[in-house]
């Protein structure tokens, strides 16, 4: 039976959540303005915020003139150091161990190389041990830690507890990662896919939730994406929204993909695909600019920057490889525009810091899209800065959603 009403705890939770959200979005604000923006009476706000001050979540700040008869109003703000969240951001070969406070400020961050071929339990044990060490060393009191966020590469179960396929990050499939992390740390876990976590962090910092529908594209190791509908992140029927990198592009003879299939978009358009193709095409005759750049270096030392600079310098073979990536990626995103009709497409990853790639990509995105679909395509304002905060912010955002209860 559908829920018919709210009990008192739900009402309290909703009101406290609204207080935390308004303070996050506006910074310090008077009780009067807080009451007006939430739509509660000043007396109700005084009671709610009084409890939250007692719990240390909020504190009073400076007094400002309110404009009427010389009255002064005391501003309220969140105490950012009242609560902390730890985080493990799982990439393909690397994890980022970190902690954030209530406003998403990174307290510490350390990269940990994932051992290849080690059992998942061993890897998680080492990561959790190091995470607690870093937390203690940073002086974060254990009783102020409200959870550990796990931002996970690959397919995560609908409730976020099981890492079904990490596409090569951890050895096992269907690994109960949330239970394991809770057992190892004694701290509650909130987990989600890592690209959805980055998108969620982007929304947290950019505060442009009024844009109801956004499509967030991350090109880093592979290609991942996330979607918001009506200002909420959409998980999809099997919690796999949006695995755009694994759209099948080449039916026969495509390169093997990390997901286990072959010929996926990721095998053509991802940064590692561009690099692999450039290495395969590399020769003094075929790629003279790249050849010159690589003088005295091993081919394994070739970077994406080398390839993009050679393409930007007018080298036909590398420009063609980069162009193929741009065309395939843009084609997939144009399908997104016509199917989903998002207001904004947000780009995230090193590739989009390269002017040659970004300019060509934006130009390609305009090709064949009618003026009725005026979607803005832009690089995230927080590009490359979210991996440190995203995992911990999963916990912080849940805490805000639940009113800190």
Q: By the 8 A CB rule, do 150 and 86 touch?
A: no
Cβ contact 236:340 at 8 Å: no
Across 267-401, the runs of DSSP E, i.e. the strands, are 344-348, 376-379
**Cα separation, 13 vs 373, whole angstroms:** 39
**Closest approach of Cβ 236 to Zn ion, in Å?**
16
Provide the 10 A C-beta neighbour count for residue 46. Answer: 13
- Closest to Zn ion by CB, 128 vs 225, is 225
**Span from 103-111, 124-132, 138-146, 252-260 in contact with Zn ion (CB under 5 A):** 252-260
221-250: contacts with Zn ion (CB under 5 A): 246
Nearest CA to 187 out of 231, 225, 140, 228 is that of 140
Number of residues that bind Zn ion (CB under 5 A): 5
Least separation in angstroms between CB 239 and Zn ion: 17
As a whole number of angstroms, the distance between CA 313 and CA 322 comes to: 12
User: Which CB atom, from 206 or from 262, has the smaller least distance to Zn ion?
Assistant: 262
| Closer Cβ to Zn ion, 261 or 292, answer by number | 261
What is the smallest separation between the CB atom of 167 and Zn ion, expressed in angstroms? 8
C-beta closer to Zn ion: residue 246 or 293: 246
Q: What is the nearest approach in angstroms of Zn ion to the Cβ of residue 255? A: 10
Retrieve residue 216's tokens: 């967030």
Q: Using the minimum distance from each CB to Zn ion, give the nearer residue, 246 or 360.
A: 246
Token pair of 280 as six digits: 């395969």
CB of 93 to Zn ion, least distance (A): 17
- The Cα 90–Cα 96 span in angstroms is 7
Q: Is the CB of 89 or the CB of 167 nearer to Zn ion?
A: 167
Using CB under 5 A as the binding rule, whether residue 259 contacts Zn ion is answered as yes
Least distance to Zn ion from the beta carbon of 136, Å? 40
The CA distance from 301 to 32, in Å, is 60
Question: Cα–Cα distances in Å, from 307 out to 120, 260, 279?
Answer: 35, 27, 9
Binding mask 260-299 for Zn ion (x = CB under 5 A): -x--x-----------------------------------
Which listed range, 132-140, 175-183, 259-267, 295-303, lies at the site for Zn ion (CB under 5 A)? 259-267
Tokens at residue 337, please?
């525009």
Answer yes or no whether residue 328 interacts with Zn ion by CB under 5 A: no
Q: Which of 257, 328, 377, 393 binds Zn ion (CB under 5 A)?
A: 257
Q: Which is nearer to Zn ion, 162 or 259 (CB)?
A: 259
Nearest approach in angstroms of CB 214 to Zn ion is: 24
Give the residue with the Cβ less far from Zn ion, 259 or 351. 259
State the Cα–Cα distance between residues 293 and 314, nearest whole angstrom.
Answer: 14
Is there a contact between 197 and 390 (Cβ–Cβ < 8 Å)? Answer: yes
Which x/- pattern, by CB under 5 A, does the window 88-107 give for Zn ion?
--------------------
State the nearest-atom distance from the C-beta of 357 to Zn ion, in Å.
Answer: 22
The b/e string for 161-191 (b: 16+ C-beta within 10 A; e otherwise) is bbbbbbbbbbbeeebebbebbbebbebebbb
- Closest CB to Zn ion among 104 and 224? 224
Residues 138-177 that bind Zn ion (CB under 5 A): none
Q: Smallest distance from the beta carbon of 269 to Zn ion, in angstroms?
A: 11
Residues 235-243: contacts with CB within 8 Å, 24+ apart? 235/158, 235/196, 238/158, 239/155, 239/156, 239/157, 239/158, 239/160, 239/193, 240/155, 242/215, 242/336, 243/155
Residues that bind Zn ion (CB under 5 A): 246, 257, 259, 261, 264
């Amino acid at each position: 039976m559908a829920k018919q009403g709210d009990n008192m705890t739900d009402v309290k939770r909703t009101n406290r959540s609204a207080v935390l959200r308004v303070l996050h979005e506006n910074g310090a604000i008077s009780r009067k303005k807080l009451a007006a923006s939430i739509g509660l009476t000043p007396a109700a706000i005084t009671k709610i915020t009084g409890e939250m001050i007692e719990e240390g979540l909020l504190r009073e700040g400076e007094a400002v003139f309110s404009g009427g008869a010389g009255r002064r109003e005391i501003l309220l703000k969140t105490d950012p150091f009242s609560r902390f969240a730890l985080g493990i951001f799982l990439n393909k070969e690397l994890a980022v161990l970190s902690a954030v406070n209530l406003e998403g400020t990174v307290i510490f961050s350390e990269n940990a190389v994932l051992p290849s071929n080690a059992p998942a339990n061993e890897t998680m044990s080492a990561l959790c041990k190091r995470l607690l060490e870093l937390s203690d060393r940073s002086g974060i009191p254990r009783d102020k830690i409200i959870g550990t966020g796990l931002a996970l590469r690959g397919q995560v179960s609908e409730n976020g507890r099981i890492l079904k396929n990490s596409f090569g990050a951890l050895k096992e499939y269907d690994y109960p990662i949330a239970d394991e992390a809770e057992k190892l740390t004694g701290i509650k876990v909130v987990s989600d896919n890592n690209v959805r976590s980055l998108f969620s962090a982007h929304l947290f910092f950019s505060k442009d939730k009024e844009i109801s529908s956004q499509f967030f594209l991350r090109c880093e190791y592979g290609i991942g994406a996330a979607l918001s509908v009506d200002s909420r992140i959409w998980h999809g029927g099997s919690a796999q929204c949006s695995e755009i990198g694994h759209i099948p592009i080449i039916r026969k003879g495509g390169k093997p993909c990390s997901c286990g299939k072959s010929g996926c978009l990721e095998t053509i358009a991802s940064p590692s695909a561009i690099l692999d193709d450039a290495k395969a095409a590399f020769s003094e005759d075929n790629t003279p600019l790249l050849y010159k750049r690589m003088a005295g270096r091993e081919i394994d030392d070739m970077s994406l920057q080398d390839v993009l600079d050679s393409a930007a310098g007018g080298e036909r073979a590398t420009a063609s490889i980069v162009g193929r990536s741009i065309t395939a990626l843009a084609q997939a995103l144009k399908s997104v525009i016509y199917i989903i009709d998002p207001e904004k497409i947000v780009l995230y990853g090193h590739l989009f810091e390269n002017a040659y790639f970004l300019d060509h990509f934006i130009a390609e995105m305009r090709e064949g899209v009618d003026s009725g679909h005026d979607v803005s395509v832009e690089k995230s304002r927080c590009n490359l800065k979210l991996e440190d905060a995203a995992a911990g912010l999963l916990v912080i955002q849940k805490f805000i959603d639940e009113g800190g209860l």
